[in-house]
Amino acid sequence: LAPWWIEAVTTALVWVTGIVAIAVGVAAAITATAWLVETRRRAYAPVPDPRSRAGLWAGALLVVVNFFRLPVYLEELRRASDRAPSRSDLRRWWAAWGVNALAVALALWRGSGEGSQAAADTVLLTALAALAAVWTARETRSVMRSFTDPSPRFTRRFLPAGIVEASATRKE
């Protein structure tokens, strides 16, 4: 079989990439929550956000709580913001998120099986989970940008006509 050092190196790589993946996930969650808190603050300005900052942070970062609180926070933000995604955009984002969660759960479940077929299934499901994660990241970026950037249709119609400037931002 393989020499002992190859097994040691591959095991170390698995552990290191696992720890890095967790760190990146935590950093992404914190960054997205900070974006949510700041975007809500700007949308509700000049009056303060009706929800406390601590409540927003807890509702966005606590794993089970965020399933129920984040849709509410985003719908409130959508209604308060001058620039916001449509409901269908938000639904597509939640669909991507749900498909990603399901793909990860299936890969973890199948990964607990034994035998070569379980290993092959896990590889396939992990690849599908990675594709779902890419879709989710793309939809997340799209939703986040839609709260701050003018829509492409708006930009195409009014920029060439000189009605608005390319760097136009919402008045605060």
Residue 98 lies in a domain: no
Number of domains in the chain: 1
Residue 6 lies in a domain: yes
Residue 162 lies in a domain: no
Each residue of 83-102: pLDDT tens digit?
A: 888 888 889 998 999 999 99
Q: Dihedral sign, CA of 118, 124, 125, 129?
A: positive
Residues 76, 40 contacting (CB under 8 angstroms): yes
**What's the pTM value of the predicted model, to 2 decimals?**
0.74
Each residue of 56-74: pLDDT tens digit?
A: 999 999 988 988 998 899 8
Give me the domain span that covers residue 60.
1-83
Residue 44 lies in a domain: yes
Residue 112 lies in a domain: no
Residue 32 lies in a domain: yes
